Amino acid sequence: MINRDYTMKVEKQIYEDGSFEWVASFLEIKGIIGVGDTQIEAVTEAEEAKKAFLYALEATNSPIPEANCDVSFSGRTTVRMSKRLHKLAFECAQDEGISLNQLIVDAVNVYVTESITKRKLMD
């Protein structure tokens, strides 16, 4: 099974009645999305949809979209934070039932996505 590291975008979709949902999509694969009440649900759904889509392409010998990655990154970084923030983040991760690493990745993803969205709205 082919697995490419596609660029995921996670956005909070707010409706007129004040309700909202999270939507995760891939920049390189139009139409493959995940929706959920939480960011984690949306990302999980999007990843499952991506796997099914890539499986179907592979099964039919169709071209697989390339991931857009101009620069090579290892996917690893070191983060320094106060002991108090470390403890609070760890407790939040436990409450969510995820690892501290996943919590940090999710937080960075939300921040980056919101930053990109704000820049696009200002253009």
Q: Tell me the domain boundaries of the chain.
A: 1-70, 74-123
Contacts of 64 (CB under 8 A, 6+ apart): 2, 4, 54, 57, 58
Q: Are 57 and 48 in contact (CB under 8 A)?
A: no
> Is this structure's pTM higher than 0.85?
no
Report the topology of domain 1-70: Double Stranded RNA Binding Domain (3.30.160)
Task: Categorise residue 80: left if φ over 0, alpha if ψ from -120 to 50, beta otherwise.
Answer: beta
Q: Are 114 and 10 in contact (CB under 8 A)?
A: no
Identity of the amino acid at 76: R
* CATH no. for 74-123: 1.10.1220
Domains 1-70 and 74-123 share a fold: no
Residues in the chain, pLDDT under 70: 1-3, 69-72, 120, 122-123
